[in-house]
Amino acid sequence: MFRFQHISYLFALGLLPLFIILFAGMLVWRRNKLKKLGEERLVSEQLRGFIPGRNTFRFILLAIAFCAMVIGWANLQTGDKTEKVQRKGVDVVIALDVSKSMLARDIQPDRLTRAKQLIMRMMDKMQNDRVALIIFAGRAYLQVPLTVDYNTVKMMLQSAGPDIVSTQGTVIGEAMDMAMQSFSQNEKKYKSLVIISDGEDHDEHALEKAKDAAEQGVIVHTVGIGSPQGATLYDPVTKTTKLDENGNPVISKLNEEELRNIAAAGRGTYTLLNNADEVANKLMDEISGMEQKSLGAVVFTDYTSYFQYFLLVGLLLLIAEWLMPGSDKKMKLQA
């Protein structure tokens, strides 16, 4: 079994297309400059030590070195030793509100970023619990099904935002429906749903669905993020304050009453998010205090890391590129 210890570091590979575009642009710029001096082939031949394709070859070396370094940084591992262990935990579905109101900055740096920080803290404190991630706005989407691979949840969490949800709004009820479909239908306990939202748009079906969830053994916790006083919304497109149809600033307010009622109907707790660590501790205490099911499974308990090989390859390629002679841009003397 292969895995990356720090899978989120692989996002750095996304810079490679940018490097390729910049290099291609440099080649075009160089070709245009040479054309101004004369016929490109003849001008190139007047450069001391000129070797056709050398710059491209050096770039390929650097690109491969970069990829090797990033993979080494993420630390590719294989599981060597397996052991049958008895684990106990619960199934936790986290429903994250990614509507545009979550970009309000009444809590710094903004509501959505702080909500993501809370989920990250929860992941750090989990050990045996299975976790799933749902994002919702005007629609709900299952991002990660129930899993113990917390790194995958963290990776998907980084891309969560209003831009990946086509319909705006706050359909907490639909998020609950998706959560119920994610849980095992054969058990009526060992389940918890954590809803993180500003609760701004009232969902008339949310309370009824929270009661239904509780009757099926799901404990519903809610976390409110923002302030009752509210804050103006930042429009990332215009980079200014969002205005309504009358030209007035749009104010987004935290609806604590709605979130409290949902938590009460779901036999859970409501918490206002101020400090991510404190709220994560409170939620994990609540979840750990639930009756837990046995999760006996074969797990890898010993891993072999291969980061050193990738880093070595990257280093050798960098040295090879550095040792390659460059052309002397001084023209040859004509006899």
**Residues 83-136: pLDDT tens digits?**
666 667 889 999 999 998 898 889 989 999 999 999 999 999 998 899 999 999
Helix (H), strand (E) at residue 283: helix 276-288
> Which one-letter amino acid corresponds to residue 127?
Q
Count of residues making up the chain? 335
> Which one-letter amino acid corresponds to residue 14?
G
* Distances 97 to 69, 122, 173, 199, 202 between C-alpha atoms, Å: 36, 17, 12, 9, 13
88 close to 295: Cβ distance less than 8 angstroms: yes
178 close to 134: Cβ distance less than 8 angstroms: yes
> What are the start and end residues of each CATH 3.40.50.410 domain in the chain?
87-294
Q: What pLDDT is recorded for position 47?
A: 56
Region 240-244: what's the mean pLDDT? 78
287 close to 130: Cβ distance less than 8 angstroms: no
Judge if pTM exceeds 0.75: no
Angle at 174 between CA 265 and CA 129, to 5 degrees: 70
DSSP readout, 168-230? Answer: -S--HHHHHHHHHHHS-TT-SSSEEEEEEE---S--TTHHHHHHHHHHTTEEEEEEE-S-TT-
CATH of 87-294 among 3.30.1340.10, 3.30.470.20, 3.40.50.1820, 3.40.50.410:
3.40.50.410
What value does the mean pLDDT of the chain take? Answer: 85
